[in-house]
Amino acid sequence: MQKMTNAVQHYAWGSHDALTKLYGIANPQGKPMAELWMGAHPKSSSQVADAAGALRSLRDVIDENPQQQLGRQVAERFGELPFLFKVLCADQPLSIQVHPSKSAAEAGFAKENAAGIPLDAAERNYKDPNHKPELVFALTPFLAMNGFRQLDDIAALLQPVAAAHHDIAAFLQQPSVERLAQLFAGLLSMQGEQKARALGVLKAALNNQQGEPWNTIRFIAGFYPDDNGLFSPLLLNVVQLAPGEAMFLYAETPHAYLQGVALEVMANSDNVLRAGLTPKFIDIPELLANLQFRRSPPTRC
């Protein structure tokens, strides 16, 4: 057994003190500490000490002798450590996002490599050729969105904002998967006067609506008051996990972590397609191309 030294990711939405309270990780620079990564992803591999005590990348150690480090079956099937484990500490909402399927990740990774887009470029969507199914286990109360609501539930929630957008009116007239896809794309793509008018209707409705998902919209608006993603809690399942509860997140499913501390285990990937609630690169067409409009309650564990 080897002790790992693990890297902290300093994303803007991260907590400044959760990792310190949990594991005693110092934060002398006062940066947000969003995620602690444990694994061998090329972006940020853990490190292990060699016989001389020098730290080496776990990924390099595995690459030198995969069968010794992983076992023959895992080495032959995956060729690398197939999982990435994280501690996630969110003080603010993360982006509305989708993770691609394995085949889409392989194709997207190859396409961006061929285009010469650097792996660390802001506009890079595919950092590796892997899909990213996830299991999240709450350590504190944990707020998230995961997957589309049932059509009748969406229709009921959209009634107070029917005048916000023509795609809302069309969906209410005939709720269907096809019109849900049109609605989701239309809301995410709003600009200019159309966006200002729609958000104005939504914010006016907040004055008269209580409970969920309106409280979640109010929470998100405290960080992203003018983001198209404010409509998302009306379309997506709002999930509140208690400590000790867990939830699975499938590829091609829209989701967003909003607040809380949790453990995550996932395929060894950092592929994220974003559509809102973020200052990072947004690629709505690519997200929509990798999205399945399945309606189902989140899978709790």
Catalytic residue numbers, as ranges? 274
Q: Which H or E run includes 231?
A: none
Q: Tell me if 219 sits within 8 A of 259, measured CB to CB.
A: yes
Residues with Cβ within 8 Å of 255's Cβ and at least 6 positions away in sequence, in order, are 96, 97, 98, 144, 145, 146, 147, 236, 249
CA dist 185 and 182 (Å) reads 5
The 10 Å Cβ neighbour count of residue 77 is 10
| Phi–psi pair at 14, nearest 5 degrees | -75, 160
Dihedral of the alpha carbons of 183, 189, 194, 195, in degrees to the nearest 10: 100
What's the Cα-to-Cα distance from 106 to each of 7, 91, 129, 281, rounded to whole Å? 26, 32, 4, 20
List, in sequence order, the alpha helices (H) in 13-116: 18-23, 58-64, 66-70, 72-78, 102-114
Q: What is the DSSP pairing of strand 246-249 with strand 236-241?
A: unpaired
CA dist 169 and 162 (Å) reads 6
DSSP assignment, residue 295? B
CA dist 141 and 147 (Å) reads 19
181 exposed, middle or buried (CB, 10 Å; 0-12, 13-18, 19+)? middle
